[in-house]
Amino acid sequence: MERARSLALIGLVLTCPLTSSAQGAIPDSIATRAAAATLRSDLRNFVTAQESYFADHGTYARSLRQMGASYRVSKGVTLVLLTSSDSGHTEVAIIDAVPGLVCGMFVGQLPPPLGTGTEGKPECRGPDGRSVGQGT
C-alpha cells in the first residue's frame, strides 16, 4: 500500500510540471491570436479612415497627424504608415503585448509590406515568422 502511494505521488509530481508547461503554451497562443485580431481591426479601421480622408482631399493622408482625430490606435498598438500616395498606401502595426508580432496591409498597386498578401486584407506574422491565422 505504501509503495502504491509513493508511485502515485511520484506520478503526480512528474505530471504537474508537464501540465503547467502545457497550460503555459495555450495562453501564449491565445494571446498571440487576440493581439493579431486587435492589429487587424486597427488596420481595417485605418483603411476606413484613409478612405474618408481620400473622399475629402482627393489623396490619401501622408501621415497619421494629417488624419487628426479621425483615427486612433488601440492601447499598446503602434501603426506606421510606410508609403502613401494619390493611388494607395501601405502600413504595418505592432503591439506591446506580443513582441515580434507584426501585421501589415496595403491598398492600391503597391508591394505588400510583409512580402505576401491580398490588397485590403491584413496579413500577420507571429514572433516565429509564421503566418498568424484568421481564427479570431
User: Is the torsion defined by CA of 87, 80, 92, 45 positive or negative?
Assistant: negative
Write down the pLDDT at residue 21.
39
Kindly state the average pLDDT of the residues 7-25.
Answer: 36
The reply to whether the predicted model has a pTM over 0.95 is no
* Residue 25 confidence class, pLDDT cut points 50, 70, 90: very low
Distance, CA of 115 to CA of 76 (rounded, Å): 25
**pLDDT digit string (tens) for 102-132?**
999 999 999 999 999 999 999 999 999 999 9
Mean pLDDT taken over the chain: 82
**Residue linked to cell 512528474:** 14
Higher pLDDT, 66 or 7: 66
Q: Where are the domains of the chain?
A: 31-125
Query: CA dist 52 to 11, 44, 56, Å?
Result: 62, 13, 7
